[in-house]
Structures are given as structure tokens and as C-alpha cells.
Chain A
């Protein structure tokens, strides 16, 4: 119930293409869904986050789509660039809970020129 399932494990995209990473959860008490970006040898950094009162949130080339009934959310990276090559983690937590983030297993994205 506490798991967040993330797919795919790795993704190769051509420069300018769209990268899509999917996550699914079971715990209906989750109500905060952030995405983190991690470069090799560094800690993850918050990229974008969504709450279930909206179905989509966009920040620049990054968009989160959220489907509450399916308990799924996804990250779309438009016009993918080589600088986007990193590992991406989805996560979830309860808004009024312990602030613990439950992370997905990560997706390694490689964008080729």
C-alpha cells in the first residue's frame, strides 16, 4: 500500500522528442506528488509537484498529468534536451501526515543529440 511503482526503468529519447515517465500508487491517502531530478553523484532536486485537486501542472517543458481515479501520474518532458539526461524519481506523501516521501524506483533518461 505504501509503494509507488515507476516505469520505465530506463528511457532513451532523441533530442527534441517527448519523454514520458509513469508512476502508480495504491494508498488513497497520498495527496502530494513531487518529481525529483538527480544528476550522477548529486542529490535529487525538486523538479515539479502536483496535488490531486488539479489534473495537470506545467512548468516550462515539464508537465505532470494526474489521474486520481486510476491512481496514476506521469511526467512529460517536451522538446527533450541532452541536458535533461538524468535519473527521475516520482514520489508521494500524505499532506497532513508525517512528511515522509515514498519514492519510486527511478527512471534513467538519456537524451541523444
Chain B
């Protein structure tokens, strides 16, 4: 089955730690996205990548970093500079243009700071 796999499903981070969230897709999509979901705030774009080895900041990129070394993989690192990282993180991918095909989302990673 084609789809997007996010791992882990739950992640706990201590203060000052960097953590990396995994996102893998086997849909052969060019574009990939990371969104953060907080109650009452909808989905806010962190980073997106339209092609391998290229990515752009979204609306809330501070404290996050990404890489896109392979078409199927788009990992997100939440750094210690992100002051409020507790949230539900969603990875998505799309063929281009996305308006023809829509986004396919993963099942998310819930990150909690302990």
C-alpha cells in the first residue's frame, strides 16, 4: 500500500534535547511538507520541499530544521531552540500541482516535552 509513514507515533523530549521525527513516503511524490497542529490553531506550515536537496521555510520555521537528501524521506529535527515544541506534527506529500491531487498526510507524531 502506498502512503506516508511517520515515526515514532509518540515522542518525549527532555528540555534542551534535539529530537528527529521521521517521515517516509512511497508515493513517488515530489513535494513534502511538515505541519504543526495545536488545539484551536489549525495546521501551521513549518517547512516544505518541492524537490530533492531543496527546501523552504514555512510560517513557523524557527527552532526546526529539515533535510531532503532522498525523494522519499523528509525528516524534521526539533531543536532545543524551539521553546514550545509540545504539539502534534504532521507530514504530508503531494504530486505537483497539489491542486490536482491534494495532500496525503501521515498519521502524525505527538511530541511532548517532559
Are the CB atoms of B42 and A106 closer together than 8 Å? yes
- The 8 Å CB contact of B99, one of A89, A95, A103, A104, is A95
Dominant secondary structure of chain B at its interface with chain A: strand
Q: Which parts of B40-77 form the interface with A (CB within 8 Å)?
A: 40-45, 48, 50, 56, 58-59
- The 8 Å CB contact of A43, one of B58, B102, B108, is B108
> Which residues of chain A come closer than 8 Å to B2, judged between CB atoms?
none
Dominant secondary structure of chain A at its interface with chain B: loop
Count contacts between A and B, CB distance < 8 Å. 69
Docked CA distance A99–B99 (Å): 7
Interface residues on A, range: 20 to 34
Are the CB atoms of B107 and A42 closer together than 8 Å? yes
The listed residue with most A CB atoms (<10 A of its CB), out of B33, B41, B45, B105, is B105
Q: Which parts of B10-57 form the interface with A (CB within 8 Å)?
A: 31, 33, 35, 40-45, 48, 50, 56
User: Which residue numbers of A lie inside 8 Å of B, CB to CB?
Assistant: 2, 6, 9, 31-32, 34, 36, 41-46, 49, 51, 89, 93, 95-96, 98-106
